Structure 1
Amino acid sequence: MKSLFIDGPAGRLHVQDSQGQGPSVVLLHGNSSAGAAFAAQCQALGQRYRLLVVDLPGHGQSAPVSPEHYSFAGFAALLSALVATLQLKDYAIVGHSLGGHAALEALPQLAGLRALVLLGAPPFNAELAGRLFRPEPTGGLVFKGSLNRTERERLAAAFVAPSQQSAQRAAELDSFIAQTDPHVRDALGKALAQGQFADEWALLQASQVPALLIQGDDDAFIDAQACSELAGAALQVRRVPNCGHCPHVEAPALCNAWLAEFFQDTL
């Protein structure tokens, strides 16, 4: 993987480039995570596709930005600018959680997008939100600014299914959370509480971009059965048993196989 540092409109972004020979695929992680969470995808698919693994602003090795950019719309604008800077054409996006919602909000600006994969990021609007999202399982830690070690451990545990817990996985997730700019969680939570989100379902339908949702059955944040009810012409839905909020981490072999199959049909 080649590390790139790209100056964006609000700060410097860290992007890892697998330099594969196939079509480009942009990978976007979730809130309080990092591009390194896609290690299994890079290993399995990095030669077949040009994987561009992004550390979103305030995460990983990317610079923090002003808190007003830490919203779905703010991350969407930064994604659109990155795609333009890299001059991508006929590409795909894989977005986990926050990364998926940023991609959905950016759809009107993403010319050349040929496929969208959402990991634990069902497209929603004000009407669908109550059906798709469970009560926040950590008592608000996912949107709390500074976290102590005990709080980080609780948040990390909520991200994966109980059957997928391990000391190594917990330590990795804890490190991602610790590296994240605390303003990300705080500002993102305030923006969502104020209704600062688009009608993602309408945007997806209007875009006509082929889309696949990979959803863990045991996701503490999202109702998998409600996600299944979204399946139709605009969205394929595949559910992963014994999996929480991070299918690319918890079930990498299955996730990678579905990604390769979907890209074979769309890119």
Structure 2
Amino acid sequence: MTSTDNGVEAGRTVRVGDRDIFYTEAGSGPAVVLLHGGGPGASGLSNYSRNIEVLARRFRVIVPDLPGYGRSSKRVDQSDPFGDLAAAFGGLLDVLEVPRAHLIGNSYGGAAALRLAMDRPEQAERLILMGPGGIGTTRSLPTEGLRALLSYYTGAGPSREKLARFLREHLVYDAATITEDMIDARYRASLDPEVTANPPLRRPSGPAALRTLWRMDFTRDPRLRSVAHRTLVIWGEADRVNRPGGGRMLAERMPNCDLYLAARTGHWVQWERADLFNDLVGAFLDESR
């Protein structure tokens, strides 16, 4: 890999099982994996554009595109999506010969990080979860933001108007922070033919749908209370995609879980409150040295 002007590697693709996983790297030191969310057109670099350079001053930052997104293979096992994502980036760590890493995940990526801590606890060091998916999702109706997210590829199909509405009305607290260029870039990425034919994030369907939903709700998994990793949950108090009450659920069930509720912040804490997020991450991970 070659370096870009800001020190982030240009990226490369490696084979993990029967899929290709694209990732980028920056910095050196303890390994930190940044796992992006599941919105249309998402990718590792775009979701963490305000964090990578700062964190790379102290850590080896690894930023994959999760299966279904960016330049990684588009197939996701819809019978157990969180488990499949965890297996994919856990396999990436194996290929990179990284035996253990701090895991940072937003939304969909937060669910994948938590699932890896359950399935392969020896691979996870500390966890930082921002508005993670799968927290009490079967105990109440989906939020308006989650419904907008899940319906992007349904009905009349994807459109720039749909994406702009989701980003500005549901993803962030202050709609003015979402630029036209950001909408354009994510819209172009969301139109990948493989993705439109087989969206990675969608409502479970078919005879096993109920089983899949229950598998995707961590509060119904008895293993959650055994996740002993030091964990920091950061949640925007104005999150319109995943309910902020999920943070309290995690703090009550996980034995070593701290909770930080960010005021005037939506679902994208690492982007909306980048300075706060970078400071919290640095302080929390430095404790482990």
Match of residue 81 from structure 2 = 71
Distance (Å, rounded) in 2 between the aligned partners of 1:74 and 1:143: 22
Match of residue 190 from structure 1 = 204
Q: Report deviation, 1:130.
A: 2.9
Q: Report deviation, 1:228.
A: 3.3
Q: Choose which of 209, 227, 237 in structure 2 pairs with 1:217.
A: 237
**Aligned to 1:242, what secondary structure does the other structure show?**
coil
- CA pair 70-56 structure 1, distance change in 2 beyond 3 A: farther
Structure 1: which amino acid aligns with 2:18? A
Asked whether the 8 Å contact 1:138–1:155 carries over to 2, the reply is no
**Aligned to 1:124, what secondary structure does the other structure show?**
coil
Which blocks of at least 5 consecutive residues in structure 2 are unaligned?
Answer: 1-7
Q: Report deviation, 1:96.
A: 0.8
Asked whether the 8 Å contact 1:210–1:266 carries over to 2, the reply is no
Deviations 1:89-116 (A, max 9, x none): 3420101111111122222214242101
Match of residue 6 from structure 1 = 14
Q: Choose which of 15, 19, 40 in structure 1 pairs with 2:23.
A: 15
Q: Give RMSD over aligned pairs.
A: 2.7
Match of residue 46 from structure 1 = 56
Deviations 1:185-204 (A, max 9, x none): 45x32269534225534434
Deviations 1:67-96 (A, max 9, x none): 648821221221221222222234201011
Distance (Å, rounded) in 1 between the aligned partners of 2:134 and 2:232: 11
Structure 2: which amino acid aligns with 1:87? E
Match of residue 237 from structure 1 = 259
- CA pair 86-217 structure 1, distance change in 2 beyond 3 A: same
Q: Report deviation, 1:175.
A: 4.8
Point out the more displaced range, 78-87 or 158-167: 158-167
Match of residue 150 from structure 1 = 161
Match of residue 5 from structure 2 = none
Deviations 1:5-37 (A, max 9, x none): 11112321110011x221000111011311111
Pick the structure with greater CA Rg.
2
Distance (Å, rounded) in 2 between the aligned partners of 1:217 and 1:190: 28
Q: Report deviation, 1:163.
A: 5.3
Q: Report deviation, 1:142.
A: 2.7
Asked whether the 8 Å contact 1:118–1:213 carries over to 2, the reply is yes
User: Identity percentage over the alignment?
Assistant: 21
Point out the more displaced range, 21-30 or 171-180: 171-180
Distance (Å, rounded) in 2 between the aligned partners of 1:69 and 1:55: 20
Q: TM-score, normalised by structure 2?
A: 0.79
Match of residue 58 from structure 1 = 68
The structure carrying a bigger helix percent of its residues is 1
Match of residue 130 from structure 1 = 139
Q: Report deviation, 1:40.
A: 1.5
